[in-house]
Amino acid sequence: MKLSITWKVIIFVIAILIFDQALKIWIKTTMYHGQSEPVFGNWFLLHFVENPGMAFGWKFGGKAGKLFLSIFRLAAIAGFIWYVRMLIIEKAPQGLVICVSLILAGAIGNMIDCAFYGLIFDTGTVFSSGEYIPYENTISKFSLDGYAPFLHGCVVDMLSFPIIEGFYPDSLPFIGGKRFVFFGPIFNIADVAVTTGVLSIIVFHWGFLKKTGKS
């Protein structure tokens, strides 16, 4: 039986979510915050951190900022669901539909962390005295007494690629002598899905969007 594009999108999004959430839950229940384990030498690590803000570790405000981001994510998810449906109805190229579905899956993946991880895990990064306080030397467990209310959980990040590490030359102003890492951000499967979807649209489908007036 040939699957419709709608079912392909549903299966695709669910598959990414399962992969994303399985890795996040495994990391959170087997590693403590800040723990790092090599995968391929020193250039690919599993480094567990929790992100209270946006993708790649970027932060935005305190509790109010966190709530705003969670609500924004919910609105973005609703918008992408509508957009994918419109693309399917208008018979847009399947490649474009899959790219937008990648972004949708990534947004849902990180939203699950924000919405529910604070409710189902006993420990996590919490906002206190004007800053987010991480926890160390403690492995999280599932619990009915969560660490944060609904929409205030933190996103689990773990993929680290410190390909090049070193120090800036002392002669450079402002940054001289400071340590640098390329590539520094720590991220997750959901972030990869969003980034891949956006870049693929720009590279492969921007012409179609311009031609149809959707860019």
Provide the token pair at 86. 């419109």
Residue 122 a catalytic site member: no
Bridge partners, 165 (sequence order): 181
CB atoms within 10 A of CB 77: 17
Half-sphere exposure of 90 (CA within 13 A, CB side): 15
Q: Which of 113, 145, 157, 170 is catalytic?
A: 157
User: Which 3 state secondary structure label does DSSP give 133?
Assistant: strand
- Cα separation, 33 vs 156, in Å, equals 10
In angstroms, the Cα distances linking 96 to 54, 59, 110, 156, 204 are 25, 30, 22, 28, 8
Q: Are 193 and 105 in contact (CB under 8 A)?
A: yes
Q: Which of 113, 145, 170, 191 is catalytic?
A: 191
Query: Active-site positions?
Result: 157, 191
